[in-house]
Structure 1
């Protein structure tokens, strides 16, 4: 029997080079998301210091954090749609530069008004970060290889908090919260230089800007309206919304919960705040492995993505709703860490599901609009929890966790019942 034909050496070398470039871009975008979420988490880490310095109530502090999301969703939609026509490399570079500049006014000084204005500008610059980073990464990989790189981008969110929380907490305690902002400005600018030199657009995404993608002409492409009306897009968006509500709580109020009602010291809270993110990191990688293995075995995305993702949210909901059943700071901390860690881990499922559902020439807009709706949770959650804390005192934190559990249960139901990319992709291509 003759040996199977081998690829020419030049073609093999080109493939190896493209593979290395794909993972280089992915690594850079992981760091991109790390910086992004370090920017988001810094006010939560400095919550007590900022409230004391600026004399803010819990409601006022919650509203200041909600301001971050005021233009977040609008920017996510606008840039997400632009990413279907403009180089994602360029868009990402501009975002990194803008969000570094956005933090300078609050770092220099000023009161609540300056802090709010700075966070609104920062939110507008960071709003499109996740969907565009996902699009830029997934454009380097075919569909059956997207779960792991997609998980890594979401993992950047987790690593951003895990890596930055202890260091930023130390800077805040020893040099003040404004100094921590200067540190983030410098890190963002350094990353932008690295991206300008090493970043690139992939060939599996919306790079076909001439009007055809995956064999479709512009007239054959499904409209955004049809994509948004599909049960898969609606289900993934609803499930992701409930997951992002949990993420917003981790970013803004978890440090105060750990230092206040749960009784941990400032130093311990700076470390423990990373626990749900670390759990989320393990969950993300496990989900990517399980989903990828199921899909390689021929299991449909309804189960490999919709049911696996729904299971994560269901477990997170169970942990949050079990809070009244236990006593003691240790047990409560474990339940919160598990509930938030599992509950906040749906982003990769949502992104890869929508990337599978929408053709490449529509993926940027589909991801951007989903992200815009989802991040409304970031606008609402900090303000709602601030109002609960002012109204109920320490019990307000427990009420916030129970509310998150109910939302996660609803998100799990949406994922189980609605997400089926195979079914809806077939309908969109008719």
Structure 2
């Protein structure tokens, strides 16, 4: 159910990217204005991500998840029913606020069932839900847009959210920490010796994985908002081929996530420290993705370009799962939701800045704007990879927090 939850979450996010051209045409929006509409999604996303993560340390996440997805569906309805450009901005702001805590709370709920050395696969599966949402949404919603118009796509994701909520209301359960708190009718309360959030956020590991996650989230925003347009307008692929390539790239991301989970779990079970098993695996992956983006600056389409697209966009998502499991390893259980939410809040600022900045590049530089956006993305991935390799050592920082 939580994997399906994240699938709906990312199908919601993907609509504006998949329907970019018809929406811009119908509303007469420039690329900068359209980028602003996408950035509006992140206006409250980061703030509510932090608030929701802290709330999930005190309120059973089961009900928070249910309330969030009902708000998602409500926020999509106006666009499905014929609302104009002002409501486009308003609905994206509401959707962003409701979806802000989704990923950290889904991860917190999942990880509460598993000891640290078993968390890589369940964390990866939740993250795979984000990629499966795009893999399924890209061809399906593109077909819906072509056959029934872009407004119908908003209706489809709204109904999907309501269906999920109806099932979750009956089958949703808490992890063992939340069940224990709920059984006595009170939220878990920190004890007198609890480590404060400030100390957790000051660790080199939290700073390093947050920086790396921010570079990954920049790529996520670029992939959701501008990748279909880049493939179509920047590289010359047809709309259908662009949608299929988007699905392929996100499918590769899913495979990479599962491969990372298997490799990291194997290393941890053999006694390898998480500095290598998590941080170095994630950092090297980001560095390879950076090479792929920087090599894409030629701007020509063909087999080599497809391979570079897969390398640049298709593997960097493994850092999402690594960042989550690293913070979960580092933070005490009673501070885990807040630590994850605060990491998510900081990293997702990239989603606020990225779409509008890339839209500005496209407006002012034309096709060269797409190429420069990809080069900029490569530089950010390079910095994120270096931060992970040099700063992150969860074992070291966990010992310091416990001292």
TM-score (norm 2): 0.96
Question: 2:138 matched to 1:165?
Answer: yes
Compared with structure 1, are the counterparts of its residues 205 and 398 closer, same or farther at alpha carbon in structure 2 (3 Å cutoff)?
Answer: farther
Question: 2:279 matched to 1:306?
Answer: yes
Structure 1 unaligned segments of length 5 or more: list them.
1-27
Q: 1:3-33 CA deviation, whole Å, 9 max, x = no partner?
A: xxxxxxxxxxxxxxxxxxxxxxxxx100000
- Match in the other structure for 1:126: 99
Distance across 2 between alignment mates of 1:168 and 1:146: 32
Compared with structure 1, are the counterparts of its residues 107 and 142 closer, same or farther at alpha carbon in structure 2 (3 Å cutoff)?
Answer: same
Contact 1:141–1:204 (CA under 8 A) maintained in structure 2: no
* Aligned pair partner of 1:252 in 212, 219, 225: 225
- Match in the other structure for 2:216: 243
Q: 1:329-367 CA deviation, whole Å, 9 max, x = no partner?
A: 442233122201122331100000000000110000000
Q: Deviation at 1:51?
A: 0.5
- Match in the other structure for 1:16: none
- Match in the other structure for 2:265: 292
Q: Deviation at 1:143?
A: 1.1
- Match in the other structure for 2:335: 362
Kindly report which structure 2 residues correspond to 1:308-327, keeping only aligned pairs within 5 A, or say none.
308-324=281-297, 327=300
Distance across 2 between alignment mates of 1:328 and 1:252: 20
- Match in the other structure for 1:371: 344
Question: 2:53 matched to 1:80?
Answer: yes
Contact 1:242–1:407 (CA under 8 A) maintained in structure 2: yes
Q: 1:103-155 CA deviation, whole Å, 9 max, x = no partner?
A: 11121122211100000000000010000000001011111111000000000
Q: 1:371-407 CA deviation, whole Å, 9 max, x = no partner?
A: 0111111101100100000011011111111100000
Q: Deviation at 1:205?
A: 6.2
Distance across 1 between alignment mates of 2:127 and 2:177: 20
Compared with structure 1, are the counterparts of its residues 244 and 418 closer, same or farther at alpha carbon in structure 2 (3 Å cutoff)?
Answer: same
- Match in the other structure for 1:7: none
* Aligned pair partner of 1:200 in 156, 163, 173: 173
Question: 2:399 matched to 1:426?
Answer: yes
Deviates more, 1:395-404 or 1:320-329: 320-329
Deviates more, 1:217-226 or 1:87-96: 217-226
Kindly report which structure 2 residues correspond to 1:10-409, keeping only aligned pairs within 5 A, or say none.
28-204=1-177, 208=181, 218-324=191-297, 327-409=300-382
- Describe the SS at the equivalent of 1:69: coil
- Describe the SS at the equivalent of 2:194: coil
Distance across 2 between alignment mates of 1:310 and 1:90: 35
- Describe the SS at the equivalent of 2:176: coil
Distance across 2 between alignment mates of 1:125 and 1:151: 23
CA RMSD of aligned residues (A): 1.7
Q: 1:76-121 CA deviation, whole Å, 9 max, x = no partner?
A: 1111100001001110011111111111112112221110000000
Compared with structure 1, are the counterparts of its residues 217 and 262 closer, same or farther at alpha carbon in structure 2 (3 Å cutoff)?
Answer: closer
Structure with the greater alpha carbon radius of gyration: 1
Distance across 1 between alignment mates of 2:179 and 2:336: 7
Q: Deviation at 1:308?
A: 0.5
Q: 1:197-225 CA deviation, whole Å, 9 max, x = no partner?
A: 11111115695588998xx9712111000
Distance across 2 between alignment mates of 1:47 and 1:326: 20
Distance across 1 between alignment mates of 2:15 and 2:84: 17
- Describe the SS at the equivalent of 2:234: coil
TM-score (norm 1): 0.90
Q: 1:232-263 CA deviation, whole Å, 9 max, x = no partner?
A: 11101000000100010000000001111211
Distance across 1 between alignment mates of 2:106 and 2:319: 16
Contact 2:41–2:93 (CA under 8 A) maintained in structure 1: yes
**What is the total number of aligned residue pairs between the two structures?**
401
Q: After TM superposition, what 4+ stretches of structure 1 lie above 3 angstroms from structure 2? A: 204-213, 324-330
- Describe the SS at the equivalent of 2:83: coil
Contact 1:263–1:329 (CA under 8 A) maintained in structure 2: no
Contact 1:208–1:361 (CA under 8 A) maintained in structure 2: no
